[in-house]
Structure 1
Amino acid sequence: MGVFSSKPAKPAPVPTDTIIPLHWQDDNSTFRAIVTTIMLRFDDVLDPEKLQTSLATLMEMGDWRKLGARLRMNESGKLEYHVPESFDAKRPAFKYTHVKYETSISEHSLASKLPRSTTRPTVLGSPDDFRSLSQDPDTPTKIDDYLFSDVGQLSLRIVSFNDAMLVSLTWPHTLMDAMGRRALLDAWISVLSGRKSEVPSLHGFDKDPLTTFGTQPSESYALANQLMKGFAFFTFSVRMAFELMWYSKDEHRVVCLPATHFNSMKSTALSELSTLCSEPEQKQFISDGDIICSWWARLALSMVPRNTKRNISLMNAYGLRTILSDLLPADKAYISNASNEVFTIFPAYVLFTHPVSYTASLIRRSIVEQSTRSQREALAALTRQSQASSGRSPMFGDGSTKLIVFSNWTKARFFELDFSAAVVKEGIPLEKRKHGLGRPSYMQSSAFTNGFPMRNAFPIYGKDAEGNYWFSGTLRTETWKTIEDEFTNKY
């Protein structure tokens, strides 16, 4: 586009739309930059019409129509929802496309290359290579695509084969997080399965239930004295920008961590922990996520000098729905963003001089210390202050800190989604597979980030029916090569 190009005119307001401000956790610079897609692979043939009509039915059920809202920006620069009174062909609840191939998925030139499980840790292809399967050319890729059109926030794309189906959803991150996505999928499945009565009410239709969250903290955040500000944050930003410019080539790849390897790694870590930890045995605990984060951080940061005294800030997204059950009742669906972060800060050399179990125990200690209600409130208060003063979320560490980010979706159990009510034909006989009828055999996520750097950020998709863990992320191209070489030589 040339220097004389301009944005299209904003769509005219529709008088019958209900206008709702976005909740405070939804409207921030990070979420505005990201448009996310997930793709589910089914080794069965599902009825696309049933999938479309059941989702449309859900979004016409009372307050659930909010999901079909049009995204707008008001005169104050704040995002708001314009919720149609009803949906029709001119203003549908969501964008829908269906492509059918009269062939096996294994015979399709691109779909045949989708990652499959492996017997050893393996770096696989890039989710971005499959965007033509998960998104049609008109699918929104940035916030302006929503603001300057009358398109809904959800895009559903279905690609059918004779023995399989790909189901993809695209949405702006301002709409929802991983657990919000699971609540949406559960409600969709309830309608699909003829159980409309089980669809919970939508929480927070026109009022933000987290309005007071973080406004009256009762204590200081555990890492408040390590809050980056002034020259420290400037140095941190410059170092990150320099790396992105000097090492400009990076890749988004998928990793399969097979069950056999993970189980061995977990057994070793727990054995090591029992000798390292002086606490009573019943208090010794590290989760699967702690182990994966520790193991992968060492690999992802393998280009960092092993004797460096730089700090690592390992950030884990932390879901708030359980700890804020008084504000976000479990019997209602909260389709929004409800998370903040847990930070684990330690010298980088620790990754290379200590076993996986040690770093995993540091992560677990941070989670235990920072996951109380009062600590979540304290961090939320700092987040409110930082966003109001600088437009960004707070960071912790010093100017030399290296950031690595994890978002673990395992609790959302995406591989357990049951779309069997839409199955019209088995693609693979049930006796020849681990996953059930109408359950995903594979999933992946990709995102348009519009200038927001995603290097060293890793969503953990979860554990499939075979017990394999899947995740993806973006790293420097040469780092991926180093990891691939280690996998080849070690396993």
Structure 2
Amino acid sequence: MGVFTSKPARPAKVPTDTTIPLHSKDDTKSLRPFVLDFTLCFDDVLDAEKLRNSLERLMEIGDWRKLGARLRLNDAGKLEYHIPASFDAQRPAFRYSHMTYETSISEHPLASKLPKPTSRPAVLNNTDEFQSLLRLKDGPTKLEDYLNSDDGQLSLHIVSFSNATLITLTWPHTFLDAMGRRALYDAWIHVLNGREADVLPLHGFAADPLATLGTQPTEPYALEKHQIKGFAFFIFAIRYAFELICTHLNAMKATALSELSASSPDTDTKAKPFLSDGDVISAWLARLALSPTLPQSSTRTVLLMNAFGLRGVLANDLLPPHKAYIANASNSVHALLPAHEILTRPLSYTASQVRRSITQQGTRAQIEALAAIERATYTSSGRSPVFGDSSMKLIVISNWTKTKLFELDFSAAVVKAGVELDRRSHGVGRPRYVHSCPYSNGVPIRNAFPVFGRDAEGNYWMSGTLRVETWRKIEEGFKKEL
């Protein structure tokens, strides 16, 4: 006897909806599989209705109604936004839910386990274990959940305790990137504070500001000769799938800068070496990921790929800073190194190579050159370009520190301070902890590290997708340092 299944019926088109295509960097094969939960943890009691009402009001301001668009798939297989003419109880701007517990956060069996700062680097919880607390069971986890419903792309889930509040936003990655998330929070907070006049106009409501990016390159891309094509890419993909596996920072950074200065013959103070915290973190994470899995003599190529936001470099033409761009506007910069150099040379060396990749590949001309390669690769193979060689190990880092998420000020919604100011370093209405949980829907992820940012105490928070045994070895290494 056969078993028959049928796909759920897609929502009917609403004639009064405004229909627009997704922008070029939003509707991509690399972003479609991902849905993200992002949580802010406050040591204060916030007014849930005030938060809800202010976000609803934001989506009533001019072109900001685009944030309440429904995702649809057209006959050509492309994603579209269907934007309601107005929002009401039948078609709200976003999905909303609120849970209330009459206990403190420390008394809740699961919330009490949310990570807290430590005095030294430490491996804490698995982010997946908090899913039941931070979202509803029927919340969206994949693109089809949006296509098969008439829900907006944003979900707001608030959990209230007697002394704390958790605010979780959920969205598909096709919706926005890290800096777009910050722009969304900024606009929300302006409305929350009664300052609607400060809400920036939304950029790119219907027209794609990045539609021409990559059409007029003026120089070759720095790593063009290292692009993996044809059968070599197939071999790389097979190997990758088979392998599916701040005091401290300041000291590391100081040591790295000292090493660079000592190794440089140029004593001119104007030529002092520069490394950002992000450069050092990238080098450190690369070593953490490789140390338990490769011998120190390994000659295997490592591609250290850092996400690179485009809003700054495109500020003079395509993405003006006086407008909010709530979409995806990022690419990657690439540092290619043999594994043994990451494992045996000083941390400063790897950090300097990361800095070099940003300096070299982060110019306006190089952004245009890479975009041209991306266009050509999508046209010929339907995927993003990859640089390196077929046997390389890939490490991906997405550093969100510039979004300054720990500085978000929701104090206008605070009803009661859960922790007195003299007992904490962060201000009232500012998050103590941020938490991210991605749903990749079968897309293989390994050696991927989102860096959430730096908290008020100077601690850096990050997560990583590694094999369980790799995390175990990293944890053992941390304990040896204590």
The TM-score by the shorter chain falls in which range? Answer: over 0.9
Question: Matched residue of 2:131: which SS?
Answer: helix
List aligned pairs for 1:382-461, cutoff 5 A: 382-461=373-452
- The equivalent position to 2:319 in structure 1, one of 321, 328, 344, is 328
Q: What corresponds to 2:76 in structure 1?
A: 76
**Structure 1 counterpart of 2:279, one-letter code:** D
Equivalent position of 1:282 in the other structure: 270
**2:450–2:463 CA contact under 8 A, matched in 1:** yes
Divergent runs of 4+, >4 A:
none
Question: What is the match of residue 206 of structure 2?
Answer: 206
1:393-449 superposed Cα distances (whole Å, 9 cap, x missing partner): 100011111000001100000000000000000000011110001000000101110
CA distance in 2, matches of 1:76, 1:188: 35
Mapping of 1:456-471 within 5 angstroms? Answer: 456-471=447-462
Task: Judge conservation of contact 2:253–2:275 (CA < 8 Å) in 1.
Answer: no
Alpha-carbon shift at residue 281 of structure 1 (Å): 4.0
SS in 1 for 2:279: helix
* Residue type at the aligned position of 1:396: F
Q: Which amino acid aligns with 2:469?
A: E
Question: Would the alpha carbon gap of residues 278 and 212 (structure 1) be closer, same or farther in structure 2, given more than 3 Å must change?
Answer: farther
1:274 CA displacement: 0.5
Work out the CA distance in 1 between the residues paired with 2:5 and 2:421. 55
Deviations 1:372-402 (A, max 9, x none): 1000011011111112222211000111110
Answer yes or no: is 1:109 the counterpart of 2:109.
yes
For 1:253, the equivalent position in structure 2 comes to none
**What residue in structure 2 maps to residue 477 of structure 1?**
468
Cα deviation, 1:197-233, whole Å, max 9, x if unaligned, reads 1001000001001111111111110000000011211
8 A contact 1:274–1:281 mirrored in 2: no
1:263 to 242, 250, 257: 250
Q: CA deviation at 1:127?
A: 1.2
* Amino acid of the structure 2 residue aligned with 1:124: L
Question: For residues 5-36 of structure 1, what are the alpha-carbon distances to aligned partners after superposition, in whole Å with 9 as ceiling and x for unaligned?
Answer: 22211111000000010000001111100001
Give the corresponding residue for 1:309. 299
- Check whether the contact 1:236–1:400 (CA below 8 A) recurs between aligned residues: yes
- Between the aligned partners of 2:265 and 2:82, the Cα distance in structure 1 is 56
Give the residue type in structure 2 aligned to 1:266. K
* Superposed CA offset, 1:100-137 (max 9, x none): 00000000000000000001100000111111121101
In 2, Cα distance between equivalents of 1:45 and 1:320: 36
1:15 alignment partner, SS class:
coil
3-state DSSP of counterpart to 2:169: strand
Name the residue aligned to 2:233.
233
Q: Aligned with 1:368: secondary structure?
A: helix
**Structure 2 counterpart SS, 1:404:** strand
- 8 Å CA contact 1:408, 1:460 repeated in 2: yes
Distance 1:29 1:320 in 2: 20
Which letter maps to 1:225? K
2:290·2:343 contact (CA, 8 Å) conserved in 1? no
Give the letter for the 1:290 counterpart: D
**1:169 alignment counterpart:** 169
Q: Which amino acid aligns with 1:10?
A: R
Give, as a single letter, the amino acid of the residue that structure 1 aligns with 2:443.
F
Shift of 1:454: 1.9
Residue identity matched to 1:323: V
**Cα distance in 1 for residues equivalent to 2:76 and 2:461:** 41
2:272 is the counterpart of 1:272: no
Equivalent in 330, 347, 357 of residue 348 of structure 2: 357
Mapped contact 1:36–1:447 kept (Cα < 8 A): yes
For residues 54-94 of structure 1, the C-alpha deviation after alignment (integer angstroms, 9 at most, x for no partner) is: 00000111100000000001111110100000000000000
Q: Using the alignment, how far apart are the partners of 1:3 and 1:392 within structure 2?
A: 35
**Aligned ranges 1:88-167 → 2 under 5 Å:** 88-167=88-167
Consecutive unaligned residues of structure 1, counting only runs of 5 or more, are 245-249, 251-258
- Whichever residue aligns with residue 298 of structure 1, its letter is R
Asked if the contact 2:43/2:165 (under 8 Å) is kept, the reply is yes
Q: Return the offset for 1:162.
A: 0.2
Matched residues, percent identical? 62
2: distance between equivalents of 1:454 and 1:135?
A: 22
Distance 2:3 2:323 in 1: 48
Deviates more, 1:391-400 or 1:102-111: 391-400
Residues in 1 aligned to 2:469 and 2:162: alpha-carbon distance in whole angstroms: 39
Query: With structure 1 as the length reference, what TM-score do the two structures score?
Result: 0.96
| 3-state SS of paired residue (1:344) | strand
Letter in 1 for 2:300: R
Give the Cα–Cα distance (whole angstroms) in 1 for the partners of residues 380 and 144 of structure 2.
24
Q: Distance in 2 between matches of 1:194 and 1:174?
A: 30
Structure 2 residue runs without a partner (length 5+): none
Counterparts of 2:135 and 2:3 in 1: how far apart (Å)?
29
Name the structure 1 match of 2:280: 291
Distance 1:241 1:407 in 2: 21
Shift of 1:40: 0.5
What are the superposed Cα offsets for residues 249-276 of structure 1, whole Å, 9 maximum, x if unpaired? x5xxxxxxxx221111111111111012
CA–CA separation in structure 2 for the residues paired with 1:429 and 1:355: 43
**Map of 1:347 onto structure 2:** 338
Matched position secondary structure for 2:466: strand
Secondary structure of the residue aligned to 1:32 is: coil
| Offset, 1:3 | 5.5
CA RMSD, aligned part only?
1.0
- 5 Å-filtered alignment, 1:14-93, equals 14-93=14-93
Match of 1:318, as an amino acid? F
Q: CA deviation at 1:282?
A: 2.9
Distance 1:80 1:191 in 2: 28
| Equivalence for 1:224 | 224
Alignment-mate amino acid for residue 476 of structure 2: D
